[in-house]
Amino acid sequence: MNKAMTISYEVGSNLYLNLTNKCPCACTFCIRNNADGAYGSDPLWLEHEPSMEEIKADLSKRDIASYEEIVFCGYGEPTERLETVLETAAFLRSIKGCPVLRINTNGLGDLIHGRSIAEELCSALDIISVSLNAGTKDEYMAVTRPKFPEAFEAMQKFTADCVKTGNAKVMMSVVDVIPQEQIEASRKIAEELGAVLRVRTYDE
């Protein structure tokens, strides 16, 4: 495991932000199991969690307005550092031509923080993308392996709360490695919660 300080990395026309390696899940298909980096990036295992000063210094080297989206998504669950996500989002918004801000989350931020965080996140960001991962609780628990026994229910409540704010576009995602019937069951859950389902391609 190579450790570095890769705070931001490019994927296509988007810029991804890697703010933490902490995560309450151990997903069977997690990209972290395969390599130290993603999509050709430098290693994403952090020497330490970057401070706001380090994040701002890193972002100041980027042409922020040139990206299609800026995505909070690295080798960890971004909401583990909720305050830093919110502060970074506010900093990005202060830059002329700031693009769409998205977070890729496992939706367990309420359990991490012991309170509802939907309002704060949806006020700060444009798109909330929640990893649904499976269409039934048994499959979800088997695939996602969260440390919280009530994770499946909490993830759905978080999604519904985000939809209710009306402030952000809310999506749920599954990876195309799951069987078709799980994808259809996932679509049903997403629709019931008022979110759009996105089926992602699994990249080794």
Count how many domains the chain has. 1
Can you give the length of the chain in residues? 204
**For residues 36 and 13, which has the higher predicted lDDT (pLDDT)?**
13
Model confidence at 4, pLDDT cuts 50, 70, 90, reads confident
Q: Choose the weakest-confidence range: 86-95, 115-124, 163-172, 176-185.
A: 176-185
Dump pLDDT digits (tens) for 49-69.
999 999 999 999 999 999 999
Query: Quick one: tokens of 112?
Result: 């991490």
Given this model, what pLDDT does residue 203 score?
64
**Alpha helices (H) along the chain:** 52-59, 82-93, 109-113, 118-124, 137-144, 151-165, 180-193
Phi, psi of 161 (to 5 degrees): -65, -40
Given this model, what pLDDT does residue 153 score?
97
Given this model, what pLDDT does residue 16 score?
97
Q: Please state the three-class secondary structure of 27-43 as a single string.
A: CCCCHHHCCCCCCCCCC
Dihedral sign for Cα atoms in the order 150, 119, 104, 86:
negative
Residue 25 belongs to domain spanning: 3-200
Model confidence at 204, pLDDT cuts 50, 70, 90, reads very low
List the CATH number of the domain containing 48.
3.20.20.70
